[in-house]
Amino acid sequence: MTSISSPIPDEAAPARLPATLRLGAVHLTVTDLAASVRWYEQALGLRVHDREASVAELGDGVETVVVLHEDPAARPPGRHAGLYHYALLYPTRAELARAVLRLAATGTPIDGASDHRTHEAIYLPDPDGNGIELAADRPRDEWPPDLGYQSGPQPLDFTALLDTAEGERPAAQVGEGLRMGHLHLHVGDVAEGIRFYADVLGFETRANLGTAAFVSAGGYHHHLGCNVWRGEGVGAPPAGTVGLRHWTVQLATAADVDAVASRAAAAGHAVDPYEGGVMVRDPWDNAVAVVSTSATGLRSEAVVRTGKPSPYLRQLAKHFSHKLEVRFDARRAVIPLPAGHAELSAGDEALTIAAFAQTPAELQRVETVIGSHLERFGRRDGLTVAWQR
**All structural domains of the chain with their residue ranges:** 10-295, 297-377
Return the axis-axis angle of helices 309-321 and 360-377, rounded to nearest 10°.
120
Q: Give ∠ CA 194-1-377 in degrees, rounded to 5.
A: 145
According to the model, what pLDDT value does residue 12 have? 45
Is the pLDDT assigned to residue 92 strictly greater than 70?
A: yes
The tens digit of pLDDT for each residue in 351-367 reads 999 999 999 999 999 99
pLDDT greater than 50 at residue 5: no
Section 256-285 average pLDDT: 97
Q: In angstroms, rounded to a whole number, what is the distance separating the alpha carbons of residues 216 and 237?
A: 25
Return the pLDDT at 7.
38
CA distance 23 to 179: 8
| φ and ψ at residue 96, rounded to 5 degrees | -65, -40
Q: Residues near 248 by Cβ (< 8 Å), separated by ≥ 6?
A: 23, 24, 25, 26, 27, 180, 288, 289, 290, 291
Please write the tens of the pLDDT for every residue from 42-90. 999 999 999 999 999 999 999 999 999 999 999 999 999 999 999 999 9
Q: State the architecture of 10-295 in CATH terms.
A: Roll (3.10)
Write the pLDDT tens digit of every residue in 216-255.
999 999 999 999 999 999 999 999 999 999 999 999 999 9
Residue 200 has pLDDT above 80, yes or no: yes
Q: Which of 385, 387, 340, 334 is nearest to 362 (CA)?
A: 340
According to CATH, the topology of domain 297-377 is TATA-Binding Protein (3.30.310)
Mean per-residue pLDDT, 304-331: 96
3-class secondary structure, 308: coil
SS3 of 382, please? coil
Using the predicted structure, report yes or no on whether residue 152 has a pLDDT greater than 90: no
Average pLDDT of the chain is 95
Percent of the chain beyond pLDDT 90?
95
Provide DSSP, 146-199.
TTTTTT--EE--HHHHHHTTTTPPPPSSPPTT-EEEEEEEE-S-HHHHHIIIII
pLDDT for the residue numbered 15: 77
The pLDDT of residue 171 is 94
Say what the pLDDT of residue 8 is: 43
pLDDT at residue 209 is higher than 50 = yes
